[in-house]
Chain A
Amino acid sequence: MGRTAVARVNSLAQISRGGPEVAEASLSVLPDAAKFVFRGRPSSWPVAAEAFGVELPQAVNRFSVKGGRKAYCVGPDEWLLEAVGEDPGEIFHKLSESLASHSCSLVDVSHRSDTFEIGGTRSEYVLSHGCPLDLSEQQFPVGMCTRTLIGKSPVILSRTERAVFQIDVWRSFSSYVWGLLDEVRREFPSRSRQM
């Protein structure tokens, strides 16, 4: 056909544009990623890990990282696999081939959610507006992830650094969650972002 394919639009593109800079709790949209929900019987787990190239954590609510790829364990037999900047079709094809003889489910959810990051000395405090969990480092250390709520929206929350959290949120809820955290951090001084 010769035409260029339509471009992917991030659900946070609009709301994140030109917002204030708040050093205590900065918000930034993360690059699009290929994402898959992998669930299955135990025999399939090492096969998926091998094919995806990242160890699948066996402890629920932990994630592991290798390069641009991550595996979040979000249930006893459930992982969210993430590959930043990669093509979902290729990964899906490769994993499906490896897993063909195993009892499991692999579903492409690359477009289901978008991911953004909150970072800064008060990121934990800002997230506590809406997230009922104890987000202290003792209870929610780096490397932890969980399904939880922020306000009235379900999210997958993970801590990548001491003061940095990532929020994976379904597209139709993303502007609500972003807006909620943005509203909360208004109590901190902000500078207009240089355009």
Chain B
Amino acid sequence: MKYRLSSGGQVDRSKPLRFSFDGKGYSGFAGDTLASALIANGVHLVGRSFKYHRPRGFMSAGSDEPNALVGVGDDEARYTPNLRATQVELFDGLVAESQNRWPSLSLDFGGANDALSRFLTAGFYYKTFMWPAAAWKRLYEPMIRRAAGLGRAPTAADADRYTQLYSHCDVLIVGAGPAGLAAALAAGRSGAKTIVCDEQDRMGGTLLSEREAIIDGLPAADWLARTLQELGSLSNVTLLPRTTAFGWYPHNFLGLSERVTDHLGRKEGNLPRERMWQVRAKEVVLATGAIERPLVFPDNDRPGIMMAEAARTYLNRYGAVPGSRAVVFTACDSAYRAALELKGAGVHIAAIADVRPAPEGPWVERARAAGIDVRPSTLVTATHGRLHISHADLASEGASSSETVPCDLLLMSGGFTPSVHLFSQSRGKLGYDEALKSYIPQKSVENERSVGGCRGLFDLGASIADGFGGGLGAVRGAGGTPVTEQKIPVFVQSFGQDGFIGALNGKSRRRAWVDFQNDVTVKDIELATREGFRSIEHVKRYTTTGMATDQGKTSNMNALGIVSHALDLPVPKVGLTTFRPPYTPVTFGSFAGQSRGKLFDPVRQTSIHDWAAEHGAVFEDVSLWKRAHYFPRQGEDMHAAVRRECAAVRNSVGIFDATTLGKIEVVGKDAAEFMNRMYTNAWTKLEPGRLRYGLMLREDGFITDDGVVGRMATDRFHVTTTTGGAARVLALMEDYLQTEWSDLDVWLTSTTEQWAVIALQGPNARKVLEPLVEGIDLSREAMPHMSVREGRICGVPTRLFRVSFTGELGFEINVPMGYGRGVWEAIYAAGKPFDITPYGTETMHVLRAEKGYIIVGQETDGTVTPDDVGLAWAVGKTKKDFVGKRSLARPAMTRDDRKQLVGLLTVDPKVVLEEGAQIVVDPREPVPMTMIGHVTSSYWSAALGRSVALALVRGGRARIGKRLHVPMAAGNIEVEVVTPVFYDTEGKRLDG
């Protein structure tokens, strides 16, 4: 175990785990990440870069990792691409693979891109693949997509569960490092309802790899254990490890993605793989820490080159040794600590190359005292090694010669960048701190505060104090009573604030990487500035720096430094790009949550639905409802079924489920007045017991809904609406009532689901119904067309409508919903002697089209007036007012050349027009022809033995008797314009 310490760290050496990477078996320990386990096995080459296919290794140990993206999962249904190996927890049997390479990681033909790199600079695809335009879709784009890319999408449906829940708290603390935990102690002890989330599997942040610090008299690890124990014992505190706060939405609403089972491997039980917490927090404490900045120097991307703090983490937390001979390249003190700790573990430190001319202070002295070769004003000018670093060239700044130093590890540190992503998402204002060379939170917009490293406080003691204070402040902000301030003494050797942003490549022609994930080099950024891009937002888009899945966590500040230097502008003048959710990628499954399969949307079914399903109905979706479309018998297609169903209604009797119609009960002494105002019709004189067709307009005078309305009593109307319009019409009515006419004594109640509606239509309808009904005289004289009676059917109450949407004698039987199927079955049984036939919406459409009855939304499209569709008779001319009345008086609404509803009969009766087809006068006119209307409904009419169609045609009524044309791809179709009633034009059958 050359690369694994025999003791130390938080891995459990008594629990070895087997895993495979690219088909090769390895072993690690419980507590490892895939990254730490591979490092402990001496594996550093883990990926190929996005564009140039450069060999890449681990750069960091956390969510900022740009290189080590892997695909995890041994079956397609549980495969996840693009996971950061630094965050993948090891479990027994884990299967992982590298990405973006072919045929293998060490021999990757895509590496040819690297040799072509001078042609693949920033914006190359804008410049190179311009012509011919057609080639983009077929050649360039597929080629680029194949050559450059990340992981592959799995092909099987996701086998896991995902859930989403809402949660509410006083204080949400993001990040459980020292500052976050101190804030949690303050909030928790104060009794505030507190949620603490952290993206790592263990809480503690930097404390997890801390060796020296003494906190509150305890070694860091012990203080951490004690703190977590205390927080765990508080019932008002919820600790969420493995939970990333990925997005900030208005009013302190944050999205948290909890990875529940990924670390368990083959799990038992039904836990969701991920749980999305949608948290509404009164106060948010951001304790998101800081990210170590890479140094930008020539060849800085080889495997074996990593962040100094990452090396510490691998060593101290996992006991994994990332190399045996290291060069350290730094611009700050913290890398000296890494060098000393690695040296303590037996790693030879070949040299510390320090950018600074005169590094000094306790850390530098300790390094020198330990015998480490500290070289001020020294740069790494090149590195060597094909699949792993083998040498580094060190040169004093300004010197012409360099020394080549053998090494298998190069640690770099350019200082720390506060992690301000969430703060920025919350619209907080950032300010540039010259000393830190970083942006830090300046002014909050939401109820939040940043504490510790994410606001530039890198000293452990200061960070803990800041966290505790921030926790108390949050409690106060949330309206709670904070406990008293507590001083937590911390003993630790501090660091200075040194750091570097920008490029350290001098005049070298070798490439120096800025954005490792998107393969952006210093040259690319400099080229962009030479080509005139000055705003960082433009540079970002042109070069794609910071646009990878890591959102530039490690690259943004260096890119800014380079642009600032190239343009000779101070950094704040260059600007800062916007941070957007998600902080790290979130799975689609997590966003879908429970809304999959049957739960994607509510599927609304009537109480008669199951009967229809049992009788072979084919259903169609009408808004959220399932409606029976037609009832095919053995061997029938839709047309055959519809022809049979139509004939049954015309000749005997059909039964139809009309339950989905919207229903609203309008009740109160001003009900008739309200109806007068809402509908175009006059309602005052409608007697109780009678029905009327009602037409509703919007303010603009166009038809928005219609339906049959029954007056049940002087103060009670039973209103029906279209299926899709029910909720909208109720909202519109309620809106007028509450905002305009609050003086009216009338109230609205949705009764859509109170009533099942069974339409019984056809010449034999009365005969079927009569024996089932009690207390209602169904005779022609006692119950004329358009009347309603209350009584009982099959022993249950009914509101029985005599109404027809087919042109035949018809009834609509309203019964309380729970009785729907029972009554339906009774009617069906009673209809057997008449060969009663269930029919669906398609037949209903044909039958009403034969009669020229419109369907709102089919014959109307929001630009149609009552007169346009021949419903001027439904407009109460003498009414004082109604919604839309004034708009109807506008000149444009009464012009003769408006589109008007007409019937169309094809000259060849066998041709059925296509709905939506355009209508022209002269088919010989060159394209584009003058289109004067379109077909709104078109069917084969079994009753007439020919096709019929309805259409909206400009000045249509004046064209009746004339011929028009419907040009189609297959040729022109000639049609005759007729009155839009095709069947039983005198309406005698209604009186049946």
Contact = CB atoms under 8 A, between A and B. Distances in A.
Contact of B168 (A5, A111, A136): A136
B665 A107 contact: yes
A152 B601 contact: yes
A40 B595 CA distance: 39
A32 B794 contact: no
15 contacts: A3-B794, A6-B795, A8-B818, A9-B607, A41-B745, A103-B668, A105-B747, A106-B667, A112-B750, A125-B165, A133-B166, A151-B599, A172-B605, A173-B604, A184-B163
B166 A132 contact: yes
Judged by DSSP, the binding face of B is: mixed
Contacts of B605: 172, 175
Interface of A: 1, 3-11, 32, 37, 39-41, 77, 88-89, 103-113, 125, 128-134, 136, 139, 151-153, 170-173, 175-177, 179-180, 183-184, 186-187, 189
Interface in B789-845: 794-797, 816-823, 825-826
Closest 6 CB pairs of A and B: A5-B795, A6-B822, A105-B667, A172-B604, A105-B747, A8-B818
Contacts of A128: 165-167
Contact of B817 (A3, A106, A111, A125): A111
A186 B270 contact: yes
Contacts of A187: 161, 163, 269-272
Interface in B727-753: 745-747, 749-753
A129 B753 contact: no
Nearest to A177: B602
Nearest to B595: A151
Given A5-B795, A10-B818, A105 B746 contact: yes
Contacts of A153: 602
B988 interface: no
A82 B755 CA distance: 18
Contact of A109 (B603, B754, B771, B823): B754
Nearest to B792: A5
Nearest to B671: A105
A131 B278 CA distance: 11
B579 interface: no
Scoring A4, A9, A136, A189 by chain B CB atoms within 10 A of each residue's CB, the highest score goes to A9
B402 interface: no
Nearest to A190: B270
Nearest to A36: B749
Given A186-B270, A187-B271, A7 B669 contact: no
B444 interface: no
Contact of A170 (B593, B753, B825): B753
A112 B753 contact: yes
Nearest to B715: A105
B625 A176 contact: no
A89 B168 contact: no
B272 A108 contact: no
A8 B819 contact: yes
A112 B602 contact: no
A131 to B, nearest CB: 7
Contacts of B313: none
Interface in B346-368: none
B747 A104 contact: yes
Nearest to A35: B754
Interface string B752-796: 111100000000000000010010000000000000000000111
B280 A134 contact: yes
Contact of A6 (B593, B746, B753, B823): B823
Given A111-B817, A176-B603, A179-B598, A89 B797 contact: yes
Given A9-B821, A112-B751, A3 B795 contact: yes
Contact of A108 (B594, B624, B754, B821): B754
B818 A109 contact: no
Nearest to B280: A134
B906 interface: no
B205 to A, nearest CB: 28
Contacts of B593: 129
B735 to A, nearest CB: 15
A16 B127 CA distance: 63
Contacts of B816: 8, 88, 108, 110-111
Contacts of B269: 187, 189
A110 B819 contact: no
Contacts of A88: 816
B823 to A, nearest CB: 6
Scoring B624, B749, B750 by chain A CB atoms within 10 A of each residue's CB, the highest score goes to B749
B606 interface: yes
B164 interface: yes
Scoring B747, B821, B825 by chain A CB atoms within 10 A of each residue's CB, the highest score goes to B747
Contacts of A173: 602, 604
A179 B749 CA distance: 27
Interface in B564-580: none
A4 to B, nearest CB: 7
Given A111-B753, A130-B594, A183 B168 contact: no
Contacts of B599: 151, 176, 179-180, 183
B796 A32 contact: no
A168 B155 CA distance: 41
Contacts of B749: 37, 39, 105, 107, 109
A134 B82 CA distance: 36
Contacts of B754: 108-112
A172 B594 contact: no
Contacts of B161: 183, 186-187
B498 to A, nearest CB: 47
Contacts of A113: 753
A136 to B, nearest CB: 7
Given A107-B749, A111-B754, A187-B269, 7 more contacts: A6-B794, A89-B797, A111-B819, A151-B599, A172-B602, A180-B594, A184-B594
